[in-house]
Structure formats: structure tokens, C-alpha cells
Amino acid sequence: MRAQVQLSAEEMAALDRLARERKTSRSALVSNAVKKLLAEERAHDARKAAFGAWKDRDIDGVDYQRRLRDEW
């Protein structure tokens, strides 16, 4: 699928330089950048969802950890 993006002349020149250095296309660079951005967002969402996971538990996280280690 195609998408149109607007870049400044400086951004386009920098992208062209990078494409030449990496021996790839501008399209591949932009596609990889979008994939990286989306992966970072998914990781951020996962961290955000995990924040406060223990808030409804009756046991303190450190106490739980100590109990588990005592089993070793």
C-alpha cells in the first residue's frame, strides 16, 4: 500500500544520503522507520498496561519476592 508524506528539502536530502550509504531505497527507509515507531508504541502500551499490576493484590511485591526466593 502506498502513502504520501511531506518532507522538507533538508529531510529529503538527508534521506537520500542515508539511502545511498545503506544501499537501499527511500521507501525502504521510511517503511522501516514506520515499523520501528509502531513497535516502540506497542512496547510502550505493554509497559503502560503492566503499570500497577499489583495494585489490587493483598501482598506486597517485595514480600512476594522474598517468599519465592525462600523456596530456593
Give the pLDDT score at 31: 96
Convert the pLDDT of each residue in 25-61 to its tens digit. 999 999 999 999 999 999 888 888 788 777 788 888 8
Contacts of residue 6, defined as CB under 8 A and 6 or more positions apart, other chains included, come to none
- Residue for cell digits 545503506? 22
CATH 1.10.1220, applies to 1-53: yes
